[in-house]
C-alpha cells in the first residue's frame, strides 16, 4: 500500500492562501454619515450599556469589531448563551479559614484581563439565546459592572447583540430587569454601505466631539426636558409593558429616564442630529414616551410668545408647519391671558408675517380666535384686511366639504 507523504508544495500554497486572505481583510474606512453608528458611539461615550437588535448576518459583530479598532479599545467577546450563571456571578473559592475570611467569588479569566488592561470593549454576543438563569446573573455585570469580587474599571464599555426571538437559535425573550438596563438600537443594513464596504471601504466610527463650552447648558437642557415632560405626564415615569415581547425591549422607568437624560445631554453637547437623538431616546424609554419627549424638545426650542409680541415685524418663525402652528397658538394664548390693544395689534402683524413667509392656511385658526378677543373700543387694524381673503377662502372650503359630505350621506340613504 502506498504511503501518503506531504507534498513539498503544500506549505508554499498555504502561504499563498494566507497572502490572499490578508488582501481580502485589508479594508479601509472613511468618514461617512451613518445614523446608527453615530448613535452607537454616542451611547458608548456616555458609558451606557447598548444592545444591538438585528437579524443574523446583518453585521452587528463586524460593527463592534470595527468600533473597537477605531476607538483603540481591546475587544473581549463573550457568548452569553454558552456560559453558566457562575461564569458571571463568580465561582466560590474556599480559603484557609472560611469562617474568618469568607468565601470569595472568583471571576473568569476574561474579566481579569479587562481589569488588568484598565480599558476595553466587552461584547456580550447572542444575548437573546441566554437562558433566564444566565440573564439573571448578567444583571449585576450590566448595571454595577461587577463580576464576582472584581469591579470593572471605568474605561470598560459594554455592548451586547441579540437576534429577535423568531430568528434566534433556541431564543428567549429578555427579562424585563435586564432589558431595562440597556439602550436598545435596531441594527439594519444600508445596501450602499454594504456595497462600498465589500468594495474595501467601511464607515469610520469616531467618538462624538463634545464642545466643552456647551456642557453646563447641555445638562440643564436635558434636565429641563425630561423633568418638564414627567411633571406634565406622571403616568410615564414607570410603565411596564403588558406583553412579554415588549417587556424585553425599551420601556419607561426611573432608570431608563435617567439614561435618556444622559443621552440628551451628550447629544446636545455633541450637536448630534435629531435622527440620532430619536434612535437613542426611543431605544431607551420606548417609541411612545420617546416621541412625546422629542415633541417636548421641539417645543422647548420655540420662540417666546412675549418676545414675538414685542417685535412682530422682525420675528423669525419655525419652518416646520406643526411648530409654526404651535407658535401662533401660543401667541394668541398670550394675548388672551393679558388682553391689551397694543398686544392684539402686534399679534395681527405677526399673523400677516406668518402668512407671507409660510403656508397661509396655518393662520386661519389663530386669526379666527384672535378676532374673537376684540374689545368693543378697539379699532380694527389695517393688517386684518390682508388676512381676510385667507380666512374667507378657508371658510368657503369648509362649507364645500360639509355640503359634499351631506350630499354623499343623502345618496347613501337614497340607495338604501
Domain membership of residue 227 (yes or no) is yes
- Looking at residue 81, what DSSP letter applies? G
- What pLDDT is stored for residue 325 in this prediction? 86
Is residue 128 within 8 A of residue 164, CB to CB? The reply is yes
Quick one: 234 and 373 in the same domain?
Answer: no
pLDDT confidence of residue 396: 42
Q: What is the CATH number of the domain that holds 190?
A: 3.40.50.300
Residue 162 lies in a domain: yes
> Residue for cell digits 403656508?
359
Distances 82 to 23, 127, 128, 169 between C-alpha atoms, Å: 33, 10, 12, 12
Judge whether 173 lies within some domain: yes
Q: What are the C-alpha distances in Å from 101 to residues 97, 98, 148?
A: 6, 5, 16
pLDDT of residue 165 exceeding 50: yes
CA-based nearest residue to 370, from 314, 309, 322:
309
Is residue 312 within 8 Å of 349, Cβ to Cβ? yes
Alpha-carbon span 340 to 344, nearest angstrom: 6
**Residue for cell digits 415632560?**
229
- Tell whether 289 and 330 lie within a shared domain: no
Within 10 angstroms of residue 47's Cβ, the number of other Cβ atoms is: 14
Do 146 and 198 belong together in one domain?
A: yes
Pick from 93-107, 110-124, 365-379: least confident? 93-107
71 and 156 share one domain: yes
Give residue 393's pLDDT.
41
Average pLDDT over the chain, rounded to an integer: 83
**What's the gap between Cα 27 and its chain centre?**
29
The answer to whether residue 388 is domain-embedded is yes
Given a contact cutoff of 8 angstroms between Cβ atoms, the answer to whether 183 and 51 are in contact is yes
Q: Are residues 41 and 184 in the same domain?
A: yes
- Terminal Cα-to-Cα distance of the chain (whole angstroms): 96
CA dihedral sign, ordered 254, 55, 175, 118: negative
Check whether residue 137 and residue 57 sit in a common domain: yes
Mean pLDDT confidence for 201-219: 88
Question: Which grid cell sits at 317?
Answer: 418663525
CB-based burial of residue 314 (10 Å sphere; 0-12 exposed, 13-18 middle, 19+ buried)? exposed
Q: Is residue 312 located within the same domain as residue 340?
A: yes
pLDDT at 401: 42
| Of 209, 228, 211, 208, the residue nearest 220 (C-alpha) | 228
Looking at the structure, do residues 127 and 44 belong to the same domain, yes or no? yes
Q: How many CB atoms lie within 10 A of CB 98?
A: 12
Mean pLDDT of 161-167: 78
Q: Which of 173, 203, 233 is the last residue of a domain?
A: 203
Q: Using pLDDT thresholds of 50, 70 and 90, give the confidence band for residue 99.
A: low
User: For residues 168 and 130, is the Cβ–Cβ distance under 8 A?
Assistant: no
Clarify whether residues 148 and 227 are in a common domain: no
**Is 248 within the bounds of a domain?**
yes
Total tally of structural domains belonging to the chain: 3
Helix (H) or strand (E) holding 53: strand 50-53
Give one DSSP letter per residue of 88-128, joined into a string. HH-EE---S-HHHH---EEPPHHHHHHHHHSEEEEEEE-GG
- pLDDT band with cut points at 50, 70 and 90 for residue 392: low
User: Is 80 in the same domain as 168?
Assistant: yes
Whether 184 maps to a domain, the answer reads yes
Task: Identify the band that residue 121 occupies on the pLDDT scale cut at 50, 70 and 90.
Answer: very high
Conformational region of residue 81, where left means phi above 0, alpha means psi within -120 to 50, and beta covers everything else: alpha
- The candidate with the shortest Cα–Cα distance to 70, out of 40, 109, 102, is 40
The DSSP element (H or E) to which 28 belongs, if any, is strand 28-30
What is the tens place of the pLDDT at every residue in 286-330?
999 999 999 888 887 788 888 889 988 888 888 888 888 888 888
Q: Is the residue at 10 inside a domain?
A: no
Task: Name the burial class of residue 326, with classes exposed (0-12), middle (13-18) and buried (19+) by CB atoms within 10 angstroms of its CB.
Answer: middle
Residue 358 CB neighbour total at 10 angstroms: 18
> 378 with 278, same domain?
no
Q: Are residues 248 and 391 in the same domain?
A: no
Instruction: Tell me which residue range forms the domain holding 65.
Output: 31-91+106-203
- Which tens digits make up the pLDDT trace of 338-349? 999 999 889 988
Output 390 or 342, whichever has higher pLDDT. 342
Residue 55, pLDDT above cutoff 50: yes
Encode pLDDT of 185-198 as tens digits: 998 888 888 888 88
In a domain, 101, yes or no: no
For the record, the C-alpha cell of 21 comes out as 486572505
Amino acid at each position: 500500500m502506498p504511503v501518503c507523504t506531504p507534498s513539498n508544495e503544500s506549505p508554499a500554497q498555504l502561504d499563498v492562501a494566507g497572502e490572499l486572505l490578508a488582501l481580502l481583510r485589508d479594508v479601509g474606512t472613511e468618514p461617512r454619515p451613518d445614523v446608527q453608528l453615530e448613535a452607537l458611539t454616542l451611547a458608548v461615550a456616555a458609558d451606557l450599556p447598548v444592545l444591538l437588535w438585528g437579524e443574523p448576518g446583518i453585521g452587528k459583530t463586524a460593527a463592534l469589531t470595527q468600533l473597537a479598532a477605531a476607538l483603540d479599545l481591546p475587544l473581549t467577546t463573550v457568548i452569553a448563551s454558552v456560559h453558566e450563571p457562575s461564569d458571571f456571578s463568580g465561582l466560590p473559592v474556599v480559603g484557609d479559614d472560611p469562617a474568618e475570611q469568607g468565601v470569595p467569588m472568583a471571576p473568569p479569566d476574561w474579566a481579569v484581563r479587562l481589569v488588568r488592561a484598565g480599558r476595553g470593549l466587552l461584547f456580550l454576543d447572542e444575548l437573546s439565546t441566554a437562558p433566564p438563569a444566565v440573564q439573571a446573573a448578567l444583571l449585576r455585570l450590566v448595571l454595577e459592572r461587577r463580576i464576582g469580587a472584581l469591579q470593572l474599571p471605568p474605561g470598560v464599555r459594554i455592548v451586547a447583540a441579540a437576534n429577535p426571538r423568531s430568528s434566534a437559535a433556541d431564543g428567549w425573550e429578555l427579562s424585563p430587569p435586564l432589558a431595562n438596563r440597556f439602550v436598545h438600537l435596531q441594527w439594519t443594513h444600508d445596501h450602499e454601505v454594504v456595497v462600498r464596504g465589500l468594495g474595501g471601504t467601511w464607515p469610520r466610527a469616531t467618538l462624538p466631539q463634545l464642545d466643552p463650552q456647551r456642557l453646563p447648558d447641555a445638562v440643564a437642557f436635558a434636565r429641563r426636558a425630561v423633568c418638564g415632560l414627567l411633571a406634565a405626564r406622571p403616568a410615564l415615569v414607570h410603565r411596564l409593558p403588558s406583553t412579554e415581547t415588549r417587556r424585553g425591549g425599551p420601556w419607561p422607568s426611573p432608570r431608563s429616564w435617567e439614561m435618556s437624560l444622559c443621552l440628551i445631554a451628550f447629544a446636545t453637547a455633541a450637536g448630534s442630529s435629531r435622527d440620532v437623538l430619536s434612535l437613542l431616546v426611543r431605544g431607551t424609554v420606548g417609541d411612545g414616551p420617546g416621541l412625546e419627549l422629542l415633541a417636548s424638545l421641539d417645543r422647548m426650542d420655540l420662540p417666546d410668545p412675549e418676545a414675538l409680541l414685542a417685535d412682530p415685524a422682525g420675528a423669525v418663525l419655525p419652518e416646520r408647519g406643526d411648530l409654526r402652528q404651535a407658535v401662533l397658538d401660543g401667541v394668541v394664548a398670550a394675548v388672551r391671558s393679558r388682553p391689551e390693544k397694543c398686544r392684539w395689534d402686534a399679534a395681527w402683524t405677526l399673523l400677516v408675517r406668518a402668512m407671507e413667509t409660510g403656508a397661509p392656511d396655518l393662520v386661519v385658526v389663530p386669526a379666527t380666535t384672535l378676532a374673537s378677543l376684540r374689545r368693543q373700543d378697539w379699532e380694527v387694524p389695517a393688517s386684518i384686511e390682508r388676512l381676510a381673503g385667507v380666512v374667507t377662502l378657508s371658510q368657503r372650503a369648509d362649507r364645500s366639504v360639509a355640503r359634499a359630505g351631506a350630499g354623499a350621506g343623502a345618496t347613501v340613504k337614497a340607495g338604501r
